[in-house]
Chain A
Amino acid sequence: MTDLRLSATQLERYSRHVIMDEVGPEGQARLLAGSVLVVGAGGLGSPVVQYLAAAGVGRLGIVDDDVVDRSNLQRQVIHADGDVGRPKVESAREFVDRLNPDVTVEPHELRLSADTIATLPDYDLVVDASDNFATRYLLNDYCALEGIPLVHGAIYRFEGQLTTFENDGDGPCYRCLFPEAPEPGTVPDCATTGVLGVLPGTVGCIQATEAVKLVLETGEPLTGRLLVYDAMDMRFDTVEVRQNPDCPLCGEEPTIESIHDVAYEGRCTLSAD
C-alpha cells in the first residue's frame, strides 16, 4: 500500500499537484512510489526523464548504451556541452540528481536484447524513447507478453507519432499496426534526414504526460489511438488503431509466444531456428 505521508518539503515541491483533485496528496504519493523505465536517453528520452523526475516519479530506470555526441545537443536537453563523450545514462542520472532528490535513478548502460531485458528490475510501465526498430519490437513484444503498459513515441523530421499500449488484453500492440519491421535501410533515421530540434520535446512531453496519467490511474490514455503530430503545419491528427486478429503477437492465432522466438534484427520476425 502506498504511504500517503508527504514531508513538508514535498508538500511545497509538489503543491501544484497536491491542490488538484485529480492528483492530490494520494496521487503525489502514488507518483513517489511509482517506477518507470525509460528506454533511450536521447531526443525523446530527455523530456521524458526531465518531466517524470520533476513530477516526482520515485524510481526511474534509464536504458541507453550510447555516449553524448555534440550533434545530440540541439535536441537532447538533459545533456550539456561538458557531457560530450560521457555515457548518456550517467549524464541523465546527474541531471535528475540536480533536479529532484526524491527520485532514484537506476542507470542501465546496455543495449536491450532478449537476454539483457530480463536482467532489469521490474517497473510499473515502460516508455519507448528508442531510435531503432530492433528495440521497438523487442519492447513491444516483451511488454505485451508481460502485461506491462508501454508508451510509444517516434519522430521523423517534422513528424511525431505517439500511442499507449496498456497491454491489458483489450487494446492493440505495435505489431497490430506494423506486423514486421521494414527491410533494413528502407526507413531513414534522424542522422540521415535531420530532425527539428524541438520536435522530440513536444512528443516526449506527451509521452511523459501519458506515463504520469498511467501511474496516477487517471484520465484517458492514448489506447487505440495513434496521435500524429505535424510540426510544420502545426496539426495533430488521431488515427484509430484496433487490435488486429492477424497480429502475430496478440492476434487470434499468435506465432510469437516468447521474445526468444524472435530475431530482433532485420525484420524482427520469428527466428529461423
Chain B
Amino acid sequence: MRVTVDVTGEGVHEIDLERLESASPTYADLLARIELSPHEVSVLVDGRPVPEDAPVEVEQITVLRLIKGG
C-alpha cells in the first residue's frame, strides 16, 4: 500500500509500506522514514490523532508539528 504523508506546512511524502522493514508498519515507522520523531509531531487520521505504535491502515495521513514558541 502507498501512503501519502502530508507534513503540514513542510511537504508531502509518498511512502510504499512494502519498502519498510517492518512486516506490519506503524505510524512511528512512517515518521522514522521521513526523519521525524513521534515526540515532535502528532499523526492525524480524519482530523484525529492516532497512536504512534498503531499499524498503518489508511492511505492518507496528516502530520502536525508540535510547536511552542510565542
A interface residues with partner B (beta carbon < 8 Å): 40, 42-45, 128-133, 136, 153-156, 159, 161, 176-179, 182-183, 186-187, 189-190, 195, 200, 224, 226, 228-230, 235, 237, 239-242, 244
Chain B: CB-nearest residue to A199:
B69
Interface of B is mostly: loop
For the A-B complex, the count of residue pairs with Cβ-Cβ distances under 8 Å equals 86
Task: Please count how many residues in chain B sit with their CB below 8 Å of the partner chain's CB atoms.
Answer: 20
Complex interface residues of chain B between 14 and 70 (CB less than 8 A to chain A): 37, 39-40, 42, 44, 46-49, 62, 64-70
Distance between A234 CB and nearest chain B CB, rounded to angstroms: 12
In the bound assembly, the distance between CA atoms of A186 and B36 in angstroms comes to 11
Other 13 A-B pairs with CB < 8 A, given A156-B67, A226-B64: A42-B70, A43-B69, A128-B70, A129-B70, A133-B68, A136-B68, A154-B70, A155-B70, A177-B42, A187-B39, A187-B66, A187-B67, A237-B8
A242/B9 contact (C-beta < 8 A), A130-B70, A155-B69 known:
no
B interface residues with partner A (beta carbon < 8 Å): 8-10, 37, 39-40, 42, 44, 46-49, 62, 64-70
In the bound assembly, the distance between CA atoms of A186 and B37 in angstroms comes to 9
